[in-house]
Amino acid sequence: MILHPADMQYTQPTTPTPTLPGCEAPACVAAFLASNPPETSVATGAGALSAYERLDADGIAVYVREGCVWEPGIQAVVSIGVYDGFHKGHQALIRETKRAAQARRLPSCVITFNPDPADVLRTAACTSDGTHLPSATEAASAVAVEHTHLMSLAARLEYVARTQVDFIIVIPFTWDFARLSYEDFFSFVQTKLAFPCELHVGSNFRLGYKGAGTIAALSEYGKTIGMDVHPFALVNTGVTGAAGADEPDLCTVFKPSTNALAIDAPSASPELYALGGSASAPEPSTTRSTSPISKPSTRALPVTTISSTYIRKLIANGHVLCAARALTRPYCLEGTVMHGRGKGASMGFATANILTRPDVCVPAAGVYAGFVLADGVLYPAAINMGLPESFSSQAYCALHASNVAHRGFLEAHLIDFDGNLYGRVVSVMVIAYIRSEQHFSSTDELSRCVKANIAAIQTLLGGARKVG
């Protein structure tokens, strides 16, 4: 992608165009960014994990914080989990783990897994009695899970490292490992890794073959080995339907009068267009496609437990600000900048065409305000989620068939950026939903609408900011 200042001249539309509809109000976005600046959401330089030494324990990665000493079987206060998203609940659990470790004057330890056990178990081809082991082909396909992750392993480790726990242990999750009983798991952990004098986990935690290691079972087992089990009450949203926010002005999809939050799914067959839409001329009755985010419904939701699954649902339905409240930071995804059609530049808004990883959770199709991190600078950006109807050649679509088919694609216009990003991996922070996809009767109408969106996003998010 090559962008030049000349590409960034804004013109007012000849007809009124709403800049920021009522989905995520400007005041709410500004308040969220003030208390959760996007600069704190990205790893700068070597990151927090650079303060840890990586050791190998029979193929298991053990990260030891600077100034700490680890040896197999060391006594510790341990927390176990996947920590995808590292949301409010994860943060609270690790804070409690550290507090307990300090009280006992023991090191704190986080044990996680790679790949995510859910990826492996989701595609397990086991019989009811578990006697059939999946084939090599089935095992290989287990990790090819589409749009189910909020974070890569590297990001998970980085955020855990920011808590300054003493040890981080990453256990490879294999088919054989999945068949271990919880007793065998702890027998292995306490001798090879760290002896958990205290185990801190969420109250719905389960471990071991077929999930037999419930909190009750682990508590009883812990008495036999000297391990105290502390189930942690799951963190909830605090406000009915507010998706992790304590403030009543979360965003205008949350209606305090009805305690309702719209999480309506996108249409079953969403139409995909370029940043701002397509210049094709649709029938008059279909000049606007179905919005992935409907007007706030009157359907009330109960107070909801914050979980990675719930946050994925929010993101998949376009409620990125609600998700950010539960995450305590803007949602971030990575992708590689690819060559595109070049049509945006001809209309005055050159775009970076970004292909995301196939396993990353992507927001619903539509236009969003956000930031793109490039060369240590966060550039405000107008982001379109979804593949344009005629994005590129058939050869290109064939090459990236999996990503294209599952809409793991976005276009971003970086405001005030001048440079070339082709082939680079960039981080994209999605801050606020702007509007749904639209059809336009002409290129001029498309151009006016997109430029109005860009101008509004620049007003909402401000200018570029240096990170680090």
Report the candidate in 225, 245, 207, 241 with the shortest Cα–Cα distance to residue 112. Answer: 207
Q: Is the dihedral of CA 48, 243, 99, 85 positive or negative?
A: negative
pLDDT of residue 348: 53
Give yes or no for residue 228 having a pLDDT over 90.
yes
Q: What is the pLDDT of residue 281?
A: 30
For 442-467, what is each residue's pLDDT tens digit? 677 777 777 888 888 888 888 888 88
Taking only the tens place, the pLDDT of each residue in 401-419 is 544 444 567 889 999 888 8
Supply the pLDDT for residue 13. Answer: 31
CB 309 within 8 A of CB 301: no
Percent of the chain with pLDDT over 70: 65
pLDDT one-digit tens code per residue, 118-162: 888 776 544 344 455 555 444 444 444 555 899 999 999 999 999
pTM equals 0.76
Hey, what are 186's tokens?
């702890």
Tens digits of residue pLDDT in 289-307: 333 333 333 234 445 788 9
pLDDT for residue 360 = 85
pLDDT at 436 over 90: no
Q: What's the pLDDT at 252?
A: 33
Residues 198 and 79 sit within 8 Å (Cβ to Cβ): no
Q: How many CB atoms within 10 Å of residue 438?
A: 21
Q: Which residue has better confidence, 228 or 1?
A: 228
Rounded to whole angstroms, what are the CA distances from 334 to 33, 152, 269, 299, 354?
A: 20, 9, 26, 34, 9
| Nearest of 209, 215, 217 to residue 121 by alpha carbon | 209
User: Do residues 199 and 206 lie in contact, with contact meaning Cβ atoms separated by under 8 Å?
Assistant: no
pLDDT at 56: 94
SS3 316: helix
Counting every residue written for the chain, the total comes to 468
The pLDDT, as a whole number, for residue 18 is 35
Tally of CA atoms within 13 A in the half-sphere of 277 that contains its CB: 28
Look at residue 255 in the predicted model and tell me its pLDDT.
30
**Residue 389 pLDDT level (bands cut at 50, 70, 90):** very low
For position 286, what pLDDT does the model report? Answer: 33
Best CA proximity match to 329, nearest among 201, 111, 150, 112: 150
DSSP state of 271: -
CA 459 vs. chain centroid, Å, equals 25
The pLDDT assigned to 199 comes to: 97
Question: For position 193, what pLDDT does the model report?
Answer: 97
- Which tokens hold the place of 205? 């935690």
Q: What is the mean pLDDT of residues 348-361?
A: 79
In this predicted structure, the answer to whether residue 61 has a pLDDT above a threshold of 90 is: yes
Q: Is 442 exposed, middle or buried (0-12, 13-18, 19+ CB in 10 A)?
A: exposed
325-341 pLDDT, tens digit per residue, is 899 999 999 888 987 65
pLDDT in tens, 166-196: 999 999 998 888 889 999 999 999 999 999 9
Distance CA 318, CA 334 (A): 17
| DSSP code at position 377 | E
Neighbours of 468 (CB within 10 A): 9
- Residue 284's pLDDT is 32
Mean pLDDT of the chain: 74
Q: Which of 437, 431, 283, 439 is nearest to 371 (CA)?
A: 431
Q: Which residue has the tokens 């590409």?
A: 7
Q: Per-residue confidence at 215, pLDDT binned at 50, 70, 90?
A: very high
For residue 15, pLDDT beyond 90: no
